Chain A
């Protein structure tokens, strides 16, 4: 019995010393955390670090990586001193260290002034004038696009995890310009589609806006950024899957913009991703190239990383 008690005290003592912060061991292996292949954040991250092949493919990543969701990666970085992961910028807390990317601090301000690189724009696109199922739909879509630039929409966008563009207009101050929103629209359906990464934000926006605009029905069918243009102004716009508003989580290409007026498209938000490590990790700054080398397995130890400061 004495021996057992002795053993327990020893383990407890060891645990307590283990809890006190030890020195960071440069020669430790890097533990790589990632989201799963269906995640929009993973898509944004992999594209951002120039490793787009790995956005949807697990077998290209360094062997022994861990799959976790946003909160679990955040939680893991409070435990694992040698881990590295990425989360959406809006969920960053002080419990972990958010790394500078190419020398730029990850902050909302640096996203909005376009200096922080690991981000992607959330874009919208609407159909051409007079190319809607009905006039009411066209008026509602115009009202929705105006709504996107208000502080009301900004709050919803920020709550849904993205970063809204700065605005000082409120919906109440412009709603009289859109008389359609005062009518009863509960029989009218407006079709939304395009990027699936934006689906959560878009649904939150239409849910709030429908209540402000006569309870129209918002039909969401998000199939990917490519369909943002294709189904509003491209080949399939007049088919059954055609959309009234399309979203894209990248800039529209010049080919897509060829037949589109400047008033038909715009940006509603930024989606920014931040690389995080444990607070004990001495590293402060990282580059996209180093990140790619870590995620592809070229660097497996923390000591493999070149100096970047």
Chain B
């Protein structure tokens, strides 16, 4: 009897160990992809700065990061690339889109989590989840087919001739539409998990539901809401396909004009990628490197702010 027990137990331990090792290998494998991707981008992206690019000359790091023209001189024959203005417009566009998507997203989440009746909330929740899973190219097609037209006609009404609607404004609208579902889903979870005792305490002290929702619930959930904003910024910074369909492909000059054409780091990487070669191809990896650094820095800064503001504990 006891012999059977021992073999059973050792068999159990064996299976446990086996599963443990197997999962560990898988986890290591998926984690190692970041090194693989990182090193490929790094090696390709550093080539333009380290070699003479088949006689075109080395790309200077400082001019690359500060310049105001994507490429001076003919493609495939010049090494005078720069992304300075693109870094700034990228951040500018993401900031503007967050200005729209953040309040809309968070307030939608508040409604779904706290105010809407159960059935309505369920319905809205699934709609937002569907929105979050729509591929970016669909947003892009919507933008090219609809937003461009609206922005073009609106700008005509105010007496400005926009360039077919291709503008900062269209880009911002598309990015806001894309990030609202992300922000809503994540902040809804944060709002729902606010400690019920806090809310009851507030109500017991005589605060109205609206006061409680805005002053207690949102404050208590701010750490989670901030995470939502960070994810939204991440999605907006990395978006290429949809943006390239409405941005207009600006190649030089920093412009903050809402109705002027624009470009971001990602759209510049994407445009012409398929037909490119040599330095013009490698430089896109360098832009990718810059984009990764920009994303890392923004995430770091946002996390820093989050730690500063999000003191209240949220379960």
Residues from chain B with Cβ under 8 Å of A29 in the complex: 161
Q: Which of A31, A53, A58 has a CB less than 8 Å from the CB of B163?
A: A31
**Are B249 and A68 in contact (CB-based, < 8 A)?**
yes
Number of chain B interface residues as a range: 35 or more
Residues from chain B with Cβ under 8 Å of A80 in the complex: 152, 163-165
Interface of A, helix, strand, loop or mixed by DSSP: mixed
Q: A55 to B276, alpha carbons, bound, how many Å?
A: 14
Q: Which A42-76 residues have C-beta < 8 A from chain B?
A: 53, 55-59, 63-64, 66-68, 72, 75-76
**Are A38 and B153 in contact (CB-based, < 8 A)?**
no
B245 within 8 A of partner (CB) = yes
B166 within 8 A of partner (CB) = yes
Residues from chain B with Cβ under 8 Å of A36 in the complex: 249, 271-272
Q: Which of B152, B248, B275 has a CB less than 8 Å from the CB of A66?
A: B248
Closest to B267 in A: A67
B156 within 8 A of partner (CB) = yes
B73 within 8 A of partner (CB) = yes
Q: A22 to B63, alpha carbons, bound, how many Å?
A: 46
Most chain-B CB neighbours within 10 Å: which of A15, A18, A56, A67?
Answer: A67
B252 within 8 A of partner (CB) = yes
Residues from chain A with Cβ under 8 Å of B271 in the complex: 36, 67
B135 within 8 A of partner (CB) = no
B58 within 8 A of partner (CB) = no
**Are B153 and A19 in contact (CB-based, < 8 A)?**
yes
Residues from chain A with Cβ under 8 Å of B73 in the complex: 57, 59
**Are B74 and A56 in contact (CB-based, < 8 A)?**
yes
A39 within 8 A of partner (CB) = yes
Contact with A along B159-171 (1 / 0, CB 8 A): 0010111100000
Residues from chain A with Cβ under 8 Å of B274 in the complex: 38
Q: A37 to B249, alpha carbons, bound, how many Å?
A: 12
Contact with A along B50-87 (1 / 0, CB 8 A): 00000000000000000001111111110000000000
Residues from chain B with Cβ under 8 Å of A196 in the complex: 275
Residues from chain B with Cβ under 8 Å of A19 in the complex: 153
Q: A53 to B73, alpha carbons, bound, how many Å?
A: 10
Q: A277 to B190, alpha carbons, bound, how many Å?
A: 51
Contact with A along B248-281 (1 / 0, CB 8 A): 1101110000001100000000011011100010
B157 within 8 A of partner (CB) = yes
Q: A67 to B280, alpha carbons, bound, how many Å?
A: 16
Write the nearest CB–CB distance from A275 to chain B, whole angstroms.
16
Taking beta carbons and an 8 Å cutoff, which residues of A are in contact with B? Answer: 14-15, 18-19, 28-29, 31, 33, 36-40, 53, 55-59, 63-64, 66-68, 72, 75-76, 79-80, 82-83, 196
Contacts A/B (CB < 8 Å), 5 sampled: A14-B157, A58-B251, A79-B165, A80-B163, A83-B163
Name 9 extra pairs, CB < 8 A, besides A19-B153, A36-B249.
A15-B150, A37-B272, A39-B272, A56-B74, A57-B74, A58-B71, A59-B73, A68-B249, A75-B145
